Structure 1
């Protein structure tokens, strides 16, 4: 069952006549709620570990499939996403957003790719091919999908190399003859950007970080004294949290950090109470403050299977060879298409400016005791938002910066 908030969006986004500002606000809230839902689905199986996931990289391939889905399969996709790209207003708005994400910006490397691996020789609908080539950074690639699960690793490598700007070297291949036409759905995301105000590498030092399991580690802690956007808030059950925004160069986006104020409050007590409306209130209520910021360097890369998650969201027909209705993909609307695998890879790296840092003396901190400090020395949640739209590009948590 959908949360009450989200159940309001389907009729809104299906019949909204216009009004870019209303649509933008509705889609931003909806996509933030979906981002949190995806995060919880992934984090539930990774208790106490680092997590990063890109909601955008997950939603784009599902949107692509909407162009070819029919009947109950199409309805399940629309209900899971909360909107349909068959609405011209929604479609044009999202296309403009994705075009913005793809534009290179100063000091920023934002990579987003989606590939549908289609069995070699299957005649595709020209209309569907045109939609795919038009939608975000998507592509169709030939593959031999005769053995389920056999090409996933190769396909992920293909997308990763494409994301890195390399020549992937042809198609995703395997041996054998397919018993039915299948699809593999692969999405990938990576982001790296220079800070609006860099963390001087000479100020980085080893400081204690208390992990989720209670272990205390010495980790490279970055430091800056800066004007930042900051606020302290309560979640619905009364936990105090600090929220800090760190912008990237060229207004490419901002990294938001959510940290329980009480060191005795586990992050797991805050996570279940996060909602799109709460995040909107928090990020809209931040105030400028001059603060000392201490943030550990971290790098996270996750690779996981989306199939079980999407099934739990009600997307079941898509993966069933007897129920999937993807007739809009083939030339003559033929049956036989279903999605055999859905995988996702996400990566984020946070450092001073991409260079190796050196240690410095701890006396650095003792000279500035009168200035408020935001010290991230325990597990925290982060989410990366695109500035112009407010859409969550990635979301995750850091439980151990050294993992």
Structure 2
């Protein structure tokens, strides 16, 4: 049986710079309503809530074809959080919903990363730290990052051998992403003191195949009601499925049953209403209603490439202090020199077709110093994704959202 492949890769870099600060002051926090942080009990809850927050932030920018990895972003920023203190730490925690108790947060992350990297899951996640030669980082901080997040420290000379440093970091990127991302950094400022990197790679196969011979050109209706053409894949098989008055949900598992893709298709041609009711509570309720049944599905082939400068987003989402003169990352350092985040960039790619799906992402953060009536046969439901839809790729065992996005405009890919 031909099976669909999925390859997902994430890379995140955080660069810490000391000394002269060149960024402007942070923006005021967003007025978007956020859940009570006390209700977020686990790092998985935290990751998933941040996923929805950042999805809504990107939607507020009228972004087409959203795609990002909350898992990568959260994984890297929790390493930054470990080095933050005072109000800086409070703002980062509020933005990412990290559990406040150190032992709880650290042990949950260590367990999550262990399960995520379990042999046979198809997922590989790695962290690394790159430190300016001669710049002293707190041994307690380095020990915590290595013990709980698997971040290995490496010494490089950013100032006097920028080219060599770039080559080594980019080689690590290429290795961790199986060559899909060959370069993430093109230059280094002389103030760079620390770079934190995260990469996640997933390769899997659909349990059920798509027959390439069944793919055909079909209409896709945009939010503005205009139509365009897509290559539509189709098949009939058994999947977890549900529908209500607002949407249809389809879950497509990968071989091994460790990871699945979930597609949320609004009834009607627009994402606006679905975006308005998207919440952890509703997603949990909808997921509990999924039942395995035969479904005829039609899904477009697509490729999405995104590049999100996250600095202003994170400032407006509640953590401006980390990018300012007043940033407190004193748990990272052993001297009085100040550190701050310079910028955060997230890049992602997903390519879905009959032979396979490939996805890659990079994040760079730079721091300076209905039921049928009884007895009536239920017809096979049709899941026709011929208008904008939301999708996520999650770890089935623990529910952590690895990737999230939407497909809304084939003309923008």
TM, length-normalised to structure 1: 0.78
Structure 1 pair 70–155 and aligned structure 2 pair: CA distance change class (3 A):
farther
Take 1:252 and 1:29, find their aligned partners in 2: how far apart are those partners? Answer: 18
Q: Is the 8 A contact 1:299 1:350 kept in 2?
A: yes
Q: CA deviation digits over 1:256-283, x for unaligned, max 9?
A: 11111223xx112321221100000001
Instruction: Tell me whether 1:88 sits opposite 2:97 in the alignment.
Output: no
- 1:334-368 Cα shifts (integer Å, max 9, x gaps): 33211112122223332224299xxxxxxxxxxxx
Aligned-pair CA distance for 1:8 = 2.7
The alignment yields a C-alpha RMSD, in angstroms, of: 3.6
Structure-2 separation of matches of 1:60 and 1:371:
41
Q: Paired residue for 1:133? A: 146
> In the alignment, what sits opposite 1:366?
none
Give the drift of 1:131.
Answer: 2.6
Distance change >3 Å, CA 351–CA 7, structure 1 → 2: same
Counterpart mapping for 1:383-398 below 5 A = 383-398=392-407
Structure-2 residue corresponding to 1:250: 256
* Separation of aligned partners in 2, 1:291 and 1:167: 34
- The equivalent residue for 1:324 is 327
**Separation in 2, partners of 1:123, 1:227:** 57
Residue from 203, 212, 217 that aligns with 1:206: 217
Give the CA deviation at 1:400: 2.8
- Kindly indicate which of the two structures has a greater share of residues assigned to strand: 2
Give the deviation of 1:171 after TM superposition: 11
In 2, the alpha carbon distance for the partners of 1:269 and 1:155 equals: 47
Distance change in 2, residues 1:315/1:127 (3 Å)? same
Q: CA–CA distance in 2 between the matches of 1:43 and 1:90?
A: 29
Task: Name the residue aligned to 1:122.
Answer: 135
Deviation, structure 1 residue 224? 1.6
1:175-224 Cα shifts (integer Å, max 9, x gaps)? 7743xx65556555554421111212222222222233434233221112
* SS state at 1:197 partner: coil
Q: What residue in structure 1 maps to residue 13 of structure 2?
A: none
Structure 2 residue 393 is matched with structure 1 residue 380: no
Match status 1:271 vs 2:290: no
Indicate how the Cα distance of structure 1 residues 273 and 185 shifts in structure 2: closer, same or farther if over 3 A, else same.
farther
Deviation at residue 399 of structure 1 after TM alignment = 1.1
Distance 1:74 1:306 in 2: 18
| Secondary structure in structure 1 of the residue aligned to 2:209 | coil
Residue 111 of structure 1, CA deviation: 4.9
So what's the TM-score if we normalise by structure 2?
0.76
Q: Alpha-carbon deviation of 1:157?
A: 5.1
Q: How does 1:284-303 map to 2 (within 5 A)?
A: 284-303=288-307
Match of 1:315? Answer: 319
- CA distance in structure 2 between the aligned counterparts of 1:158 and 1:44, rounded to whole angstroms: 36
How many pairs were matched up? 361
* Corresponding residue of 1:43: 59
Paired residue for 2:231?
A: 220
Q: 1:260 aligns with which of 248, 262, 266?
A: 266
Q: Which has the higher helix share?
A: 1
- Aligned mates of 2:408, 2:182 — CA distance in 1: 37
